Structure 1
């Protein structure tokens, strides 16, 4: 997955936005103002921070060398994924899971507006 493909996939979700609150090198992808992904898209290797259920986060870290505790994040709830170290399909699933976790924490009216009850 290329940086452009990663950006396009993250922006394809309902109400997804890309912002740069940490400077121009760090793309922060948000839904309804809440972050679901963070990546320095020009970094080599390409990595992305993603929200994850705590138990699943630990399992993924144990099973895959490309998954580590979230860099500069709450390590219980965030993982840093080296994109090239996992199949693209799995990276897309992890991004979608992160988006869904963030949406699940939003008020019901916002979730309904996003078509994700």
Structure 2
């Protein structure tokens, strides 16, 4: 899947526009929630070595948020790596040349859900016994 098609699909699926916040990295796209401005995905083209591959080429990666207790098992899957330039306890990098499209969108959905602003929990009133 090319980056333009992926960007279009993300924009349509999550009703948001790609943002390009860094002048130094004009091709890095950030996708965030409109209501709370939290990021749920970052699309980048980086050196393969940045995610631990022994290649000297540039690859397309997407960082997404994941549940900390699932990150270890996710990293065992093809195309999933420790997060480049993000907190590795909460984020993973997806190598877009390796990951299956179904898994990519499953992980994007999870990241989107994890970064939604949750309403404050209503206080539970205890009834005295």
Q: How many residues align?
A: 106
Moved over 6 A (4+): none
* CA deviation after TM superposition for structure 1 residue 21, in Å: 1.5
The Cα shift of 1:40 comes to 2.1
Unpaired runs of 5+ residues, structure 2, are: 48-57, 121-129
Q: CA deviation at 1:107?
A: 4.1
Contact kept? 1:19, 1:27, Cα under 8 Å: yes
Question: Structure 1 CA distance, aligned partners of 2:113 and 2:32?
Answer: 12
Task: Kindly report the root-mean-square deviation, in angstroms, between the aligned alpha carbons of the 2 structures.
Answer: 2.2
Q: Alpha-carbon deviation of 1:66? A: 1.7
Equivalent-residue separation in structure 2 for 1:42 and 1:3 (angstroms): 13
The residue correspondences of 1:20-99 to structure 2 (distance < 5 A) are 20-23=20-23, 24-32=26-34, 33-40=37-44, 44-61=58-75, 63-99=76-112
User: 1:4: Cα distance to partner?
Assistant: 1.6
- TM-score, structure 1 as length reference: 0.79
Work out whether residues 34 and 102 of structure 1, in 8 Å CA contact, stay in contact via their aligned partners in 2: yes
Return 5+ residue gaps in structure 1 as ranges: 110-117
Distance 1:14 1:88 in 2: 16
TM-score scaled by length of structure 2: 0.72
Is the 1:3–1:41 contact (alpha carbons within 8 Å) kept by the matching residues of 2?
no
Bigger Rg over Cα? 2
